[in-house]
Amino acid sequence: MLTNLWYVAEWSKTVKDKPVRVKMLGQNFVLFRDKAGKVNCLSDVCIHRGGSLSKGWTTKRDCVACPYHGWEFDAEGKVQFIPSRGEGSAIPERARIDAYPTEERYGMIWVFLGDLPEEERYPIPDFPEYEDKENWRPVEVEYNWEGSVDRVVENGIDIAHTAFVHPGFGYPEMADKNEILKVNRGEYWGSSDNVLYPPQLEGNFGLNKLFRADKAATYVTPAFYLPGHCVRLHIKVNSWMEMIIFDANTPIDENTTRSFAVQVRNFFKWPIFDGGAKKRTKRVFGEDGDIVSQLSPNYLPESLENEVSVEQDKFMGAWRMIRRKHIEEKGWKIDTKAMKPYEGEKVFTIPSPARRLNPHFKWALDTVPLIAPTRRAAAAPAGEPASTEPV
């Protein structure tokens, strides 16, 4: 699991006037809205006696109150009021917990889980079609995986499995016709252009069948982004029908992943077709989930030597390479093994940006251990920019 990235914590519609608990990167967080409607995210662990803030309530000071002794924490994680001491009394300087930057986009709450300053953060991936309600109709789908996030992302961009795992996407006998036409990649993203030969599209009361012949060449573009561990799958059904599945994949812990997916379509945009679109998207996740939950090991193997890859796996190779680069050169991977001996005895927290700004502050909680970088960043070869814009 990697720190220093944006992740989706929850659907926007779920966080109303009560605090909500979410688990990400193996830690608990509380989300709460202030009076202006802004969502805030704090570590869920009260530094007084370990109360869970998400079981508390929001207050007139725009704080979240701990349910145990009522201490009130503001959006920056600072205690503003200690009821047992009374109004106007001094607050201990160390009465502060980690607070994380938040953004609401695409009907989702995004939280930056790390201590990088704003200018160094990779951006939340673009999804312009979501904003373009005139031309695209969205439906939301959620899926919970028994699988590690790195395997889930790899599955989402893997074209070769479609002929076997998804009857709606292809035929086993056409597996050698499916082709990766092009791979593009930047510092924190990759995309590839592919041609597949799927069966006729089902659904929409049989109407979809009329629009494309069986096994007609169909252009599919999967992309991945490190921020949000997002996968974007653009399917050009024919010359005028397109759909995109955009999903943010949040590591709940090492073995569990929660996908927040929005499917948009530029055809049959009336609400009556939403139910079918949701059902088919969810079914595709289920077909993948059955396979991913049984993979061994559950994580991507430590060494590429432990698996055998072929030419058709090259786009997955791009994902692995970019992920590894951020582990080996930047040191963003959480060392979960180092935390195991402390299980049940000690809580850790994900470092927030305030920790870098206040290096001498005596925070009550220790931060999660990270695996130290093992190599220095290589300079980009001449003529190849380190980062280019996603296509």
| Interface with Fe ion (CB under 5 A) | 288
Output 74 or 288, the one with its CB closest to Fe ion.
288
Which of the listed partners (Fe ion, ligand FES, none) does 268 bind, with a CB threshold of 5 to 8 Å by partner kind? none
Residue 249, H or E segment: strand 242-253
Q: Is 129 helix (H, G, I), strand (E, B) or coil?
A: helix
Dist CA 196 CA 326 (whole Å): 32
Which of the listed partners (Fe ion, ligand FES, none) does 130 bind, with a CB threshold of 5 to 8 Å by partner kind? none
Dist CA 46 CA 42 (whole Å): 10
Output 63 or 109, the one with its CB closest to ligand FES.
63
Q: Which of 47, 43, 77, 50 is nearest to 62 (CA)?
A: 77
Output 56 or 251, the one with its CB closest to ligand FES.
56
CB of 148 to Fe ion, least distance (A): 16
Q: How many CB atoms lie within 10 A of CB 331?
A: 15
Output 71 or 136, the one with its CB closest to ligand FES.
71
In the block, tokens 């989930």 appear at 289
- The CB-based long-range contact list for 381-387 (8 Å cut-off, 24+ gap) reads 386/187, 387/186, 387/187, 387/188
Output 98 or 288, the one with its CB closest to Fe ion.
288
Residues 185-199 as b/e (b if ≥16 CB within 10 A, e otherwise) read bbebbbbbbbebbbb
CB of 42 to Fe ion, least distance (A): 36
Dist CA 319 CA 316 (whole Å): 5
Output 66 or 231, the one with its CB closest to ligand FES.
66
Please report, as ranges, the residues that interact with ligand FES according to CB under 6 A.
Answer: 46, 48-51, 66, 68-69, 71
Which of the listed partners (ligand FES, Fe ion, none) does 288 bind, with a CB threshold of 5 to 8 Å by partner kind? Fe ion
In the block, tokens 């055998």 appear at 308
Phi, psi of 172 (to 5 degrees): -55, -35
CB of 83 to ligand FES, least distance (A): 8
CB of 367 to ligand FES, least distance (A): 20
Which of the listed partners (Fe ion, ligand FES, none) does 164 bind, with a CB threshold of 5 to 8 Å by partner kind? none
Which letter does DSSP use for residue 334 in this model? Answer: B
- Cα–Cα distances (Å) from 111 to 63, 67, 108, 208, 281, in that order, read 18, 24, 10, 38, 25
CB of 363 to ligand FES, least distance (A): 16
Q: Which of 247, 292, 309 is nearest to 150 (CA)?
A: 292
Which of the listed partners (Fe ion, ligand FES, none) does 49 bind, with a CB threshold of 5 to 8 Å by partner kind? ligand FES
Output 85 or 314, the one with its CB closest to ligand FES.
85
Which of the listed partners (Fe ion, ligand FES, none) does 44 bind, with a CB threshold of 5 to 8 Å by partner kind? none
CB of 48 to ligand FES, least distance (A): 3
Which of the listed partners (ligand FES, Fe ion, none) does 20 bind, with a CB threshold of 5 to 8 Å by partner kind? none
In the block, tokens 């590894």 appear at 324
CB of 82 to ligand FES, least distance (A): 8
